[in-house]
């Protein structure tokens, strides 16, 4: 295992120290492993928190700041945080207008957030709503599974819901916008290599030198198929087609196109992928209104990429364009 | 079968469970590596070590306080799916005992069933979903049956242990429909569920304690 | 070789297509492989161009935009661009106030930029000044080598000189500021794995499972030493100490601290590194005035990190803080 | 030795050089992999292929125009260190011939020396720095010497070729002080310089042409 770390058990705590030192405008509660805005709670503003296992940086801590999250809870690597963390974060960001929990759809995350919401309403009376993202089309969404996993849409949702909250909309409105984003977004990813969990010390799965895992999850969950490594053009099509059919997206739709790196893939490859995605969309008459290219929801050191398409109208677009000031996304301010 | 269970014995059970988890930590993680994310052993071990530490710190005199403490500690330290599930299990056991000073075998069986109810309420698992439920539900049934048949609690717990072990083994051919293993679809078949394995250890711990 | 690419020969051209599609506010001259600002030339503003081999993204194309570069020339992977490209870029950005060339110190880059400057003054009469970055303390700077390599300081310099140009300073002033930045900045890097050049198809160098290359260059040039893999704390010290002694930096100095990822290293590890760097600097009384943590000057898919420290005064800091709007760095606008 | 060199023969030389580069492309890249960045073969091949294509397109009648075209094409297509170095070499040869219609052997030797001067002006290499200079300088000297001794141009070129080959071999024990190889310090010793190898091919191409 080749990583720039000390003891595998200290990775999360030390990364939080690094984030705190690098971003003086954010606060860190090390006991509860919470990254939060210095100016939270803002009276009358809906608070938005998220969280999840660590190893997906910049998600979620890198999205804390004006126009996005008020706080993020960091779990152990690939392990959902515990309700105490979300409860503490909820209290921290509650400015009287209620709190939205943004939860990626994994059994553990959903249950821990659920418990924290129960505790919050019992302990504080704060109104808490939750929105669960489940955009990964690689997983069959049926009563026979835990449902789709929450992946790339989470990033776009945190930005858009964050803007709505910043503009003063109320909790129901912010939650409604968040649900709209989740309903209109779809993702799928591919791994060229496995990630290596620090505590495990070896790759989570074995992948041959000429293989790729199509439909992989951000914790190294198995995908739809193991296939021979293919050119970017083919990979883009293997990812985009299932996304397009699932919603479905149709000619004339405007989208935010998001090409994400999984942690071990450099930007030059993401731009090569973006070019392929863009060509496919152009061929279908889908209009790319905005784009995002970079590593925003990662799986430790996994080489690979995921693609997210979000169907947008003018309202979602204007929320996307609204100012944001976080370590990982910043514009307009 | 009317002798009350002392809080000391209940605490012995929890500590024995913690020891078994520690001993089976890597085994549980290996099981989770095959169909999950290779953390079930370390999750449970982290939680049970914290629970034992909490018991070391506090002298709890009632069954209700004991299990509430264990449940809260698990919820606060485990995370993932097993934190809320095993945490809720113990919390509901604690709530079932309430602040009563005494705990009869029937109270114990009722608490166990309440714990099972908590697991279902939290995780919505159904029989055959290949989860901890598939070991826990048969164990709870077996204990009830034994007590109805006027067996001693210790005897009933042996029946429950055997039922849990059978339930655990029965998860192997199942296709997972809940939790992380469900993403594997057909590929989950042929692997024993880690959570069900932990439940079997919990009942084994009971038979090794002085009930 | 596991990469999201098509034909290795098309990587640069296709990445440029991706950049063009993803950033509608930039223009791309595909023939000359130049990324440039839509609003260039700006009458009376000093133009700033840079360029170099590809494979270091976001450097340089990701730094084109308001407050930073006017244009960037993309060479083949790890191969300096040719003078024609820099000449075309120079013409493109010349608003009558002259043009600054930012050149990383590699024999090929220096000579190609030199030729372009000769051609530019012959063909257009444009006044061209060059500043060569050579901040890599891993290389002995002597008459016996090609001199230090230009690495991380290049990013900071492009930002600071870009701000100076945007504020209307003249060519000599902008060049002077750029030279000050180079003179006050030092860097060193470590590789945990080799990069793989697409056309080569295999790793540039072999590194054992328990080895790291200390002082590596961004093209996979050999470093000072091959050492056993060490904890982040030790690695940080092996990188920071030579930097601190070289300038030297001393107690009371204010610096911009830049922890850079080399392409295959995820953000969580960079924050762990940043924490260690920050602790060392605090121990020396060096004050971190600003920080930058992320993958900004990469070496394809190499796992590893480089550290850059730039000694700053109030003027450099205010130029650093000035608004910038590029794909990779953005704030204040 | 007073017979003029035709532009056709000079062009033949350039084309033969391009062929030798193509044949030695991987070898040159291997040499560069050891002490550089594994691109010298592909750099030169890309450039010389472009130069040949340019010659195919344009009918150049003077030595000056011919070498200027080759030099400009190399500068515009190669990049890296060898683009400016070999480009400048040919550009200076072209400039040395000027727009003269005739090219005597002495003109040729003078052009070669002008080319060498360009390489030095551009790259500042000194003898023993382990660069293309260490093959080119001896070759230019050898040709001058031969012509002073009244040899035929073809004979002089053979001497130049041998001198270049000797110079190339002499780079192996040298410690690199210029270019990318200089980062290696001591570790550059024991490897033959790629650029010097290319120069040896350039002179070999001359002896294979109908000078
Ligand atoms: N919805 C559920 N209901 C009951 N048990 C579940 C459910 N989901 C998962 N489990 C149990 O949790 C176990 C996995 O626990 P663990 O590995 O600690 O959590 P995670 O899956 O979050 O990593 C499974 O083996 C299964 O027995
Ligand atoms: N300063 C210099 N002067 C003369 N020749 C040089 C100089 N620097 C490098 N070279 C020559 O260039 C060759 C390397 O060329 P090439 O690999 O194409 O360029 P790069 O080093 O940019 O990749 C070396 O083998 C050496 O002969
Ligand atoms: Mg887990
Ligand atoms: Mg697990
Ligand atoms: Mg090169
Ligand atoms: Mg080379």
Which chain A residue lies closest to C281 (C-alpha atoms)?
A: A21
B166 vs D186, residue with greater confidence: B166
Kindly state whether residues A155 and A202 are assigned to the same domain. no
CATH number of the domain that A106 lies in?
3.40.50.10440
Measure CA of the first residue to CA of the last residue in chain C; give whole Å.
40
Kindly state whether residues A150 and A77 are assigned to the same domain. yes
pLDDT above 60: residue D1: no
- At residue C307, the 3 state secondary structure works out as strand
- Could you give the ipTM of this predicted complex? 0.94
**Where is the domain boundary, A162, A183, A204?**
A183
| Domain annotation covers residue A326 | no
CATH number of the domain that B180 lies in?
1.25.40.340
Active-site residue, from A23, A60, A101, A219: A219
Task: Find the range with the poorest average confidence among A13-22, A300-309, B31-40, B166-175.
Answer: B31-40
Per-residue pLDDT of D109-144, as tens digits, reads 999 999 999 999 999 999 999 999 999 999 999 999
Compute the nearest-CA separation of D104 from chain C (Å).
Answer: 30
Strand partners, C304: C191
CA of B36 to the centre of ligand 4 (A): 5
Give the dihedral sign, CA D84/D85/D86/D90. positive
Q: Does the annotation mark C31 as catalytic?
A: no
pLDDT above 50: residue B201: yes
Chains A and D physically touch (3 or more Cβ atom pairs below 8 Å):
no
Q: What is the mean pLDDT of residues C137-156?
A: 87
Query: What percentage of chain D carries pLDDT values higher than 90?
Result: 91
pLDDT of residue B1: 46
Spell out which residues have Cβ within 5 A of ligand 4, the ion.
B 32, 36-37, 39-40
**B44, B46, B78, B81: which to mutate for ligand 1, most atoms within 8 A of CB?**
B81
Judged by a CB distance cut-off of 8 A, whether residue C81 touches chain D is yes
Cβ contact (<8 Å) for C145 and D123? no
Query: What percentage of chain B carries pLDDT values higher than 70?
Result: 99
Q: How does DSSP classify residue C254?
A: E
| Domain annotation covers residue C199 | yes
Q: For ligand 1, say whether the CB of B80 is within 6 Å of any of its atoms.
A: yes
Cβ contact (<8 Å) for B84 and A115? yes
Chains B and C physically touch (3 or more Cβ atom pairs below 8 Å):
no
**Where is the domain boundary, C166, C183, C200?**
C183
Q: Does the annotation mark C219 as catalytic?
A: yes
Cβ contact (<8 Å) for B180 and A106? yes
Q: For ligand 1, say whether the CB of B171 is within 6 Å of any of its atoms.
A: no
CATH number of the domain that A235 lies in?
3.30.1180.20
pLDDT of residue C269: 98
| Domain annotation covers residue C257 | yes
Q: What is the mean pLDDT of residues A165-184?
A: 98
| Chain D residues whose beta carbon lies within 8 Å of the beta carbon of residue C202 | none
Q: For ligand 2, say whether the CB of D132 is within 6 Å of any of its atoms.
A: yes
Residue nearest to atom 18 of ligand 2 (CA): D40
Cβ contact (<8 Å) for C222 and D187? yes
CA pair distance C206, A305, nearest whole angstrom? 26
At which residue do the structure tokens 């010793």 appear? Answer: D189
Per-residue pLDDT of B72-92, as tens digits, reads 999 999 999 999 999 999 999
CA pair distance A310, A286, nearest whole angstrom? 11
- 8 A C-beta contact, residue C227 and residue C252: no
- Taking one residue from C and the other from D, the number of pairs with CB-CB distance under 8 angstroms is 86
Per-residue pLDDT of A41-92, as tens digits, reads 999 999 999 999 999 999 999 999 999 999 999 999 999 999 999 999 999 9
Q: For ligand 1, say whether the CB of B87 is within 6 Å of any of its atoms.
A: no
| Chain D residues whose beta carbon lies within 8 Å of the beta carbon of residue C217 | 183
Q: What is the mean pLDDT of residues B8-28?
A: 97
Spell out which residues have Cβ within 5 A of ligand 5, the ion.
C 79; D 37, 39, 80
Kindly state whether residues A116 and A255 are assigned to the same domain. no
Its pTM stands at 0.96
Cα–Cα distance list, A117 to B91, B153, C67, C160, C273 (Å): 17, 38, 45, 47, 35
- 8 A C-beta contact, residue C263 and residue C286: no
Q: For ligand 2, say whether the CB of D80 is within 6 Å of any of its atoms.
A: yes
Kindly state whether residues A84 and A38 are assigned to the same domain. yes
What domain range includes position D200? 5-208
Ligand located closest to B193 CA: 1
Q: Which of C8, C55, C79 best tests the D interface by mutation, with the highest count of D CBs <10 A? A: C79
Cα–Cα distance list, B201 to A189, B156, B169, B208, C24 (Å): 38, 16, 13, 10, 60
pLDDT of residue B2: 59
pLDDT of residue C239: 98
pLDDT of residue C146: 84
Q: For ligand 1, say whether the CB of B193 is within 6 Å of any of its atoms.
A: yes
Atom number in ligand 2 closest to CA D194: 25
Number of domains within chain A: 2
| Domain annotation covers residue C325 | no
pLDDT of residue B13: 98
Atom number in ligand 2 closest to CA D31: 25
As a three-state string, the secondary structure of D50-98 is: HHHHHHHHCCCCCHHHHHHHHHHHHHHHCCCCHHHHHHHHHHHHHHHHC
Kindly state whether residues C233 and C205 are assigned to the same domain. yes
Q: Which of B183, B186, B189 best tests the A interface by mutation, with the highest count of A CBs <10 A? A: B183
Kindly state whether residues A174 and A233 are assigned to the same domain. no
Cβ contact (<8 Å) for A145 and B185? yes
Contacting chains of A (3 CB pairs or more, <8 Å) are B, C
| Domain annotation covers residue A320 | no
| Chain C residues whose beta carbon lies within 8 Å of the beta carbon of residue A232 | 4-6, 14
Query: What percentage of chain C carries pLDDT values higher than 70?
Result: 99
- 8 A C-beta contact, residue A247 and residue A184: yes
Kindly state whether residues A127 and A229 are assigned to the same domain. no
Kindly state whether residues A135 and A223 are assigned to the same domain. no
Q: How does DSSP classify residue A138?
A: T
The CA-based diameter of chain D, rounded to the nearest angstrom, is: 49
Q: What is the mean pLDDT of residues A135-152?
A: 86
**Where is the domain boundary, C130, C157, C183?**
C183
pLDDT above 50: residue B179: yes
Task: Find the range with the poorest average confidence among A291-295, B144-148, C195-199, C263-267.
Answer: C195-199
Task: Find the range with the poorest average confidence among B16-25, D21-30, D179-188.
Answer: D179-188
CA of D40 to the centre of ligand 5 (A): 7
- DSSP codes, A11-27: HHHHHHHHHHHH-TTEE
pLDDT above 60: residue A190: yes
CA pair distance D60, D57, nearest whole angstrom? 9
**C107, C114, C218: which to mutate for ligand 2, most atoms within 8 A of CB?**
C107
| Domain annotation covers residue A323 | no
Kindly state whether residues C168 and C189 are assigned to the same domain. no
Kindly state whether residues C76 and C161 are assigned to the same domain. yes
What domain range includes position A195? 185-311
- 8 A C-beta contact, residue A110 and residue A132: yes
Q: For ligand 1, say whether the CB of B64 is within 6 Å of any of its atoms.
A: no
CA pair distance C58, C325, nearest whole angstrom? 14
| Domain annotation covers residue C332 | no
Cβ contact (<8 Å) for C221 and D37? yes
Q: How does DSSP classify residue B129?
A: S
Per-residue pLDDT of A87-128, as tens digits, reads 999 999 999 999 999 999 999 999 999 999 999 988 888 999
Q: Starting at the edge strand that comes first in sequence, how are the strands of the sheet with A99-104 ordered?
A: A26-29, A34-37, A71-77, A47-54, A99-104, A128-133
Size of chain C, expressed as the number of residues it contains: 333
Cβ contact (<8 Å) for D178 and C111? no
Q: What is the mean pLDDT of chain B?
A: 96
Pick from C241, C102, C105, C182: nearest CA to D183: C105
Chains C and A physically touch (3 or more Cβ atom pairs below 8 Å):
yes
Q: What is the mean pLDDT of residues A318-330?
A: 98
Residue A143: pLDDT band (50, 70, 90) is low
Kindly state whether residues A294 and A223 are assigned to the same domain. yes
pLDDT of residue B98: 94
Task: For residue C251, give both structure tokens.
Answer: 């107690």
| Chain A residues whose beta carbon lies within 8 Å of the beta carbon of residue B88 | 115
Contacting chains of D (3 CB pairs or more, <8 Å) are C
Kindly state whether residues A116 and A175 are assigned to the same domain. yes
Cβ contact (<8 Å) for A19 and C265? no
Q: For ligand 1, say whether the CB of A107 is within 6 Å of any of its atoms.
A: yes
Number of domains within chain B: 1
| Chain C residues whose beta carbon lies within 8 Å of the beta carbon of residue D82 | 108
| Chain C residues whose beta carbon lies within 8 Å of the beta carbon of residue D185 | 140, 145
Tell me how crowded residue B58 is: count the other CB atoms within 10 A of its CB. Answer: 11
Per-residue pLDDT of D61-112, as tens digits, reads 999 999 999 999 999 999 999 999 999 999 999 999 999 988 999 999 999 9
């Amino acid at each position: 295992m080749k990583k720039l770390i000390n003891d595998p058990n200290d990775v999360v705590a030390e990364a939080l120290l690094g984030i705190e030192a690098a971003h003086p405008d954010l606060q860190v509660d090390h006991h509860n492993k919470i990254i939060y805005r210095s100016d939270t709670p803002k009276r009358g503003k809906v608070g938005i928190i998220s969280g999840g296992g660590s190893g997906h940086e910049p998600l979620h801590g890198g999205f804390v700041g004006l126009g996005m999250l008020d706080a993020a809870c960091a779990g152990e690597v690939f392990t959902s945080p515990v309700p105490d963390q979300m409860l503490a974060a909820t209290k921290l960001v509650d400015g009287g207008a209620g709190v939205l929990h943004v939860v990626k759809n994994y059994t553990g995350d959903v249950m821990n957030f659920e418990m924290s919401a129960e505790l919050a309403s019992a302990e504080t009376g704060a109104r808490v709503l939750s929105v669960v993202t489940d955009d990964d089309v690689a997983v069959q969404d049926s009563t026979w599974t835990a449902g789709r996993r929450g992946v790339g849409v989470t990033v776009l949702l945190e930005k858009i819901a964050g803007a709505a909250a910043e503009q003063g909309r109320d909790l129901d409105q912010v939650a409604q916008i968040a649900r709209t984003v989740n309903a209109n977004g779809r993702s799928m990813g591919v791994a060229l290599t496995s990630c290596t969990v620090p505590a495990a010390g070896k790759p989570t799965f074995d992948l041959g030198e000429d293989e790729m895992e199509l439909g992989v999850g951000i914790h190294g969950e198995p995908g739809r198929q193991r296939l021979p490594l293919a050119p970017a053009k083919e990979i883009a099509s293997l990812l985009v087609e299932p996304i397009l059919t699932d919603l479905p997206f149709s000619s004339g739709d405007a989208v935010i196109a998001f090409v994400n790196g999984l942690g071990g893939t450099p930007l030059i490859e993401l731009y090569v992928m973006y070019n392929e995605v863009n060509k496919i969309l152009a061929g279908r008459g889908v209009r790319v209104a905005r784009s995002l290219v970079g590593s925003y929801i990662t799986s430790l050191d996994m080489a690979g990429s995921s693609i997210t398409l979000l169907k947008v109208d003018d309202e979602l677009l204007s929320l996307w364009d609204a100012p944001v000031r976080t370590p990982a996304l910043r514009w307009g301010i | 079968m009317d002798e009350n269970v002392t809080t000391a014995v209940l605490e012995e059970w929890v500590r024995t469970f913690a020891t078994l988890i520690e001993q089976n930590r890597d085994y549980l993680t290996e099981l989770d590596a095959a169909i999950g994310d290779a953390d079930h052993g370390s999750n449970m071990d982290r939680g049970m070590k914290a629970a034992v530490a909490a018991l070391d710190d506090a002298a709890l005199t009632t069954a209700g306080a004991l299990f509430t403490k264990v449940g809260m500690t698990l919820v606060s330290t485990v995370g993932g799916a097993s934190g809320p599930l095993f945490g809720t299990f113990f919390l509901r056991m604690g709530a079932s005992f309430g602040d009563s000073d005494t705990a009869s075998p029937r109270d114990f069986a009722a608490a166990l069933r309440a714990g099972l109810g908590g697991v279902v309420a939290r995780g919505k698992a159904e029989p055959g979903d290949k989860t901890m439920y598939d070991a826990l539900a048969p164990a709870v049934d077996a204990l009830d049956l034994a007590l109805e048949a006027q067996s001693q609690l210790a005897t009933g717990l042996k029946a429950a242990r055997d039922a849990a072990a059978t339930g655990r083994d029965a998860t192997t051919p199942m296709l997972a429909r809940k939790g992380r293993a469900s993403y594997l679809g057909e590929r989950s078949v042929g692997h024993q569920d880690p959570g069900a394995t932990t439940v079997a250890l919990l009942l084994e711990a009971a038979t090794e304690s002085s009930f």
